[in-house]
Amino acid sequence: MKVINSKLHAALDYLTVIFLLAAPELFDLPEMTAMLTYVLACVHFLLTIVTNFEFGLIKWLPFRVHGYIELVVAFALVFASFYLGSTDGVFSRNFYLIFAAIILIVFILTDFRHSKAD
């Protein structure tokens, strides 16, 4: 059941960026994990502002493609979590595993077929 529309997804994306920017300080993340988290925040911000949905600023990237990119990122974060777990510890691994799961859940629950910005 697709309960997240494009407008809610856009809002969640901006909240995700804020969370990612705050997470290194909030959770006292180790250096490598913090650096990856800041990079991920920047990438997610860029992805969000170029997407063709309600809160996208440039409206270049189709919303459906945005979703596929997030799906790929979710799986990449699973792999990154195990790398970070081996270098920065169990908390870093779990942080990224949970974050990947949340991105995957949002992907599954989002209706990427329609965007009110179209």
What distance in Å separates the CA atoms of residue 91 and residue 47, rounded to the nearest whole number? 27
**pTM score:** 0.91
Angle between helix 6-26 and helix 31-49 axes, rounded to 10 deg: 160
pLDDT in tens, 62-80: 999 999 999 999 999 999 9
d(CA 27, CA 90): 13
Q: How is 67-103 classified by DSSP, letter by letter?
A: HHHHHHHHHHHHHHHHHHHHHH-HHHHHHHHHHHHHH
pLDDT at 11: 97
pLDDT at 115: 73
Average pLDDT over residues 27-31: 96
Position 117 confidence tier, pLDDT thresholds 50, 70, 90: low
Compute the average pLDDT of residues 96-113: 96
Residues in the chain: 118
HSE toward the beta carbon, residue 28, CA cutoff 13 A: 0
Q: Which amino acid is at 17?
A: V
